[in-house]
Amino acid sequence: MTMLPTSHSASRLHIAWGNKMNAGTKAFLVGCLIFLALISADCSVPPIRAPRGALPVRVGTIRAEKMILTWKDLRDRNVVLQSFDYSCGAGALATLLRYYFGEDVSEEEILLRILAPLGPEEISAREKNGLSLLDLKLCAERLGYQAVAAKLTYAALSQLKGPILIHLERDNYRHFAVLKGVRGDRVYLADPSRGNVRISLNRFAEEWTGAALILGKQGFGLPQDYPLALDEQQPVQNEVLPARRSLYVR
């Protein structure tokens, strides 16, 4: 694996900042950001959330209610959807931490941990050009995880023992998602903008940059049963809708 410093994308999170840095320090930090933020993600697909419903069920004289999951419920199950255009990286990292490692963390907390130490110009850079894979790596490390940013090959994907965070790019649309696994010629993703999706290996090969963030935690091991585990029986979007949608969303 080749170590890879990288980058991701941003929109509107307003935080009050004082004049904490002089111009020279700011220029230095911006220069560092330009050097480190090599891969960005412009996650411009707005999240869609669906309400749940309860269906009354009567058996003899007993009346009960059974929760009915909509298609959107199933699509978004065990995925932290992004709240901002730029926050797919935060949503993807929160998805991985929450539904694989069992960490009680939200997209908002990830964003605050990344942006809080930064100055106004650095935040503006994130909002314009995106969060970086380096931002996500450092955030995971501050939360106590072992994090490796790497360049992987397609052959390596079949050897993975758990989900990883990946970087995708198609035309001018750059994005982060969680790779749940590969089965045959299909790739399964937990996507913070589209929920649970399945795409062809050929399409994945066109979009995946090879960049990945692999996380581990001391004493965690390799669980066999976890919410992000690949379930081929779970309904997911097939390749048609995402492909059609990508024609209109950039």
Q: What CATH number is associated with residue 228? A: 3.90.70.10
Inside any domain, residue 30: no
Helix (H) or strand (E) holding 2: strand 2-3
Inside any domain, residue 175: yes
What are residue 179's DSSP bridge partners? Answer: 164, 189
76 burial level (CB within 10 Å; 0-12, 13-18, 19+): buried
Task: Provide the domain count of the chain.
Answer: 1
Would you state the structure tokens that stand for residue 118, as one six-digit string? 């930064």
Inside any domain, residue 136: yes
Would you state the structure tokens that stand for residue 22, as one six-digit string? 């002089």
Inside any domain, residue 55: no
DSSP codes of every residue in 156-193: HHTT-SS-EEEEEEETTEEEEEEEEEEETTEEEEEETT
At residue 98 the predicted structure's pLDDT band, cuts being 50, 70 and 90, is very high
The reported pTM is 0.70
Inside any domain, residue 25: no
105 burial level (CB within 10 Å; 0-12, 13-18, 19+): buried
Helix (H) or strand (E) holding 26: helix 23-36
Per-residue pLDDT of 165-195, as tens digits, reads 999 998 888 899 999 999 989 999 999 999 9
Inside any domain, residue 88: yes
Would you state the structure tokens that stand for residue 5, as one six-digit string? 């410093």
What's the domain range around 233? 2-11+36-46+67-246
- Residue 25: is its pLDDT beyond 70? no
Per-residue pLDDT of 110-137, as tens digits, reads 999 999 999 999 999 888 888 999 999 9
Inside any domain, residue 151: yes
Inside any domain, residue 62: no
- Residue 8: is its pLDDT beyond 70? no
Calpha distance 216→210 (Å, rounded): 19
pLDDT value for 143: 96
CA distances from 214 to 22, 65, 110, 232 (A): 36, 42, 17, 23
Phi, psi of 120 (to 5 degrees): -55, -40
Q: Which residue has the higher pLDDT, 149 or 241?
A: 149
